């Protein structure tokens, strides 16, 4: 609907009920979709007024992230990316703890549970790990932040998969990573911004240590 240019910036979109009927899905599904679009700066939800399409926000370093998507990842490049993640995601966790709502918590919890289930089944490359971190970024409800971080994760999927696979090659790392995710989630749920930030820093620092060990860096 938006991609087809049916609406322009400033236009009022159909109501929640109307969208539910148009797409033949339940209101909770529509509400969650609207929440994500609002978090990424596509929409503005004005309570009592309606849902409006926003002006697009241009984030110039999207192109930088896209250029870093490569087929082959060397150990040192992986460490560079993890350092980037440490800086960005620790702030994302801090903001998410301050601004998250119930839908955000449900989305993060779903990703956390999916990650745990994958590892119970012995999988070493879980898409849910990617979604866990992505949904924390969305929970910041900062349009510029969300647009900067989410496409970056998409571009960095090759890095993300490799860092996870390498760090989990050490058996105890699986259980440790699951516990770290739990601590991050609990801090965000409690609204403890400092604890969420520190938990994320510790989580990524531990990944860096394991990758350095495996890559002999």
One-character DSSP codes across 3-52: TTTSS-TTPEEPPHHHHHHHHT--HHHHHHHHHHHHHTTSEEEETTTEEE
Mean pLDDT of 144-160: 60
- pLDDT at site 50: 87
Residues 112 and 48 in one domain: no
Residues 69 and 170 in one domain: yes
More confident residue, 188 or 63: 188
Residues 46 and 82 in one domain: no
CATH number at residue 202: 1.20.120.530
Percentage of the chain lying above the pLDDT 70 cut: 67
Q: Kindly tell me if the per-residue pLDDT of 167 is higher than 60.
A: no
Residues 79 and 172 in one domain: yes
Instruction: Please enumerate in sequence order all residues whose Cβ is within 8 A of that of 47, keeping only pairs 6 or more positions apart, or say none.
Output: none
Token pair for 91: 């702030």
Q: In what order do the strands lie in the sheet with 50-53?
A: 12-13, 50-53, 43-46
Tell me the whole-structure pTM to 2 decimals. 0.66
Residues 185 and 81 in one domain: yes
pLDDT confidence of 63, banded at 50, 70, 90? very low
Which sign, positive or negative, has the C-alpha torsion 29, 31, 32, 38? positive
Mean pLDDT of 23-27: 79
3-class secondary structure, 90: helix
Q: Kindly tell me if the per-residue pLDDT of 62 is higher than 80.
A: no
Mean pLDDT of 162-186: 76
Mean pLDDT of 63-67: 47
- pLDDT at site 217: 62
Residues 20 and 94 in one domain: no
Structural element, H or E, at residue 171: helix 171-190
Lowest mean per-residue pLDDT among 135-144, 155-164, 183-192:
155-164
Residues 45 and 130 in one domain: no
Q: Kindly tell me if the per-residue pLDDT of 126 is higher than 70.
A: no
Domain range for 37: 12-53
Q: Kindly tell me if the per-residue pLDDT of 113 is higher than 90.
A: yes
Q: Kindly tell me if the per-residue pLDDT of 5 is higher than 70.
A: no
Residues 82 and 42 in one domain: no
pLDDT confidence of 205, banded at 50, 70, 90? very high
């Amino acid at each position: 609907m938006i991609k087809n240019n049916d609406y322009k910036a400033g236009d009022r979109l159909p109501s929640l009920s109307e969208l539910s009927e148009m797409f033949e899905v339940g209101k909770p599904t529509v509400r969650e979709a609207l929440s994500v679009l609002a978090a990424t700066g596509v929409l503005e939800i004005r309570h009592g007024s309606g849902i409006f399409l926003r002006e697009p926000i241009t984030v110039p370093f999207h192109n930088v992230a896209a250029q870093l998507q490569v087929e082959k990842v060397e150990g040192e490049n992986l460490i560079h990316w993890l350092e980037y993640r440490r800086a960005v995601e620790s702030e994302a966790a801090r903001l998410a703890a301050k601004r998250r709502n119930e839908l955000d918590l449900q989305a993060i919890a779903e990703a956390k549970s999916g990650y745990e289930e994958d590892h119970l089944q012995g999988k070493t490359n879980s898409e849910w790990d990617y979604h866990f971190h992505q949904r924390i970024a969305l929970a910041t409800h900062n349009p510029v932040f969300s647009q900067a971080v989410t496409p970056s994760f998409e571009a960095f999927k090759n890095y993300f998969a490799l860092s996870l696979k390498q760090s989990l090659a050490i058996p105890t790392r699986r259980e440790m990573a699951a516990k770290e995710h739990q601590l991050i989630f609990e801090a965000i749920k409690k609204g403890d911004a400092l604890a969420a930030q520190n938990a994320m820093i510790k989580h990524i620092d531990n990944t860096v240590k394991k990758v350095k060990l495996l890559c002999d860096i």
